Amino acid sequence: MTNPIPDTSRRRLLFGGTAIAAGALLTACTSNEQTPTPTQTKGADTENPNTAAGKAVTIGFSAPAADHGWIAAITNNAKAQAGAYKDVTFKQVEAGKDAAAQRAALDTLIAEKPDVIVLLPHDGKELNAFGLKAMEAGIPVVNLDRAFPDALAYRLQIKGDNYGMGVAAGHYIGKTLKAKNVASPIIGEIAGMDELELTQERSAGFKAALATYGFTVANRRAARFTADSGQKEAQNLLQALPKMDALWNHDDDQGIGVLAAITAANRSEFFMVGGAGSKKAIEDIAADKTVLKATVTYSPSMASSAISLARLIAQGRGMSDLVELQVPKEVILASETITKENASTYLKLGF
């Protein structure tokens, strides 16, 4: 159109050849094979009578497909735990990208009449109505982590303790600083996504626990649960606080970036506490070469427990250590503090 004389074919050949070669090379580069993702499951080899095969049950499962390590671990754990039982058929439905998509996917799941549904909703309030509907249809719902406000919407609610996580971090920092006899310490906080209720709960717990020691947070920044946002907020926080005594970072995934910023700034006068309990963080704590000295857990192992309990509900069995013949209605996991001393026992729970 613009050039009546055809382009020299050599140039095109060269370009085309390079493009194809680059493409071939690149596709080879997507491989990410390492040891299979470790999952946190409870084996069937214990002497627990509940592990004995019972009535065959179908467990429906749905969790958001978020691109975050924690959610990925939730789904992997649920799948692996279901695979550990011979009497469980695991039926996973994609949750799509928002509450509406998840609701639509779950409606098709109800039609298939599973014995029990394990559900991590995009948003507990938005999917509350689905919980009610499933329960009315006679399918028990196990509500995982993000809570339904309505008690009629679930048979079992199993979740982590965000407030308790903040409390655990606050107590660890408070105790350590008291032991060091620091009079008025400067404490920094790097939160996760600030618009989420869980972030607010974590910060509230942290504040309350610190208050019992007479300490306050000097500067609080909110990142986005990603390493690059963590790096950015940490870099600014370090500028704002040229001298710091302690730092709590809500999430170990964003903590990778936070640690990178601390290393780049050559700062080591303070200690840092993480959150969630990722494998990398636990390894760092055990190695004790960075400022990261502890992390408070919010473990995705709750998905494995949810599957186990869902199976018991569907089979009409109770938890063997309890007197009751049925599974309780609410289980709230305690947030545990991982330090150098106990890191080795927690390493298998890291994700």
Residues forming the site for other proteins (CB under 8 A): 1-3, 22-23, 25-26, 28-34, 37, 65-69, 71-72, 194, 218-222, 224-233, 235-237, 239-240, 242, 253, 256-257, 259-261, 263-264, 280
Cβ atoms of residues 162 and 202 within 8 Å: yes
Distance from C-alpha of 275 to C-alpha of 193, rounded to nearest angstrom? 14
Instruction: Using the minimum distance from each CB to other proteins, give the nearer residue, 177 or 261.
Output: 261
Find tokens 């004790």 and name the residue: 288
CB of 247 vs other proteins, minimal distance in Å: 14
Angle between helix 227-240 and helix 252-264 axes, rounded to 10 deg: 50
Instruction: Using the minimum distance from each CB to other proteins, give the nearer residue, 69 or 160.
Output: 69
Cβ atoms of residues 326 and 320 within 8 Å: no
Instruction: Using the minimum distance from each CB to other proteins, give the nearer residue, 155 or 232.
Output: 232
Instruction: Using the minimum distance from each CB to other proteins, give the nearer residue, 47 or 195.
Output: 195
Instruction: Using the minimum distance from each CB to other proteins, give the nearer residue, 203 or 337.
Output: 203
CB of 187 vs other proteins, minimal distance in Å: 12
Strand order through the sheet with 116-119: 88-92, 57-62, 116-119, 141-144, 156-159, 330-332
* 3-state secondary structure (DSSP) of residue 296: strand
Residue 206 burial class via C-beta count within 10 angstroms: exposed 0-12, middle 13-18, buried 19 and up? buried
Cβ atoms of residues 218 and 238 within 8 Å: no
CB of 50 vs other proteins, minimal distance in Å: 32
CB of 225 vs other proteins, minimal distance in Å: 7
CB of 189 vs other proteins, minimal distance in Å: 11
CB of 332 vs other proteins, minimal distance in Å: 26
Distance from C-alpha of 107 to C-alpha of 32, rounded to nearest angstrom? 35
Instruction: Using the minimum distance from each CB to other proteins, give the nearer residue, 157 or 231.
Output: 231
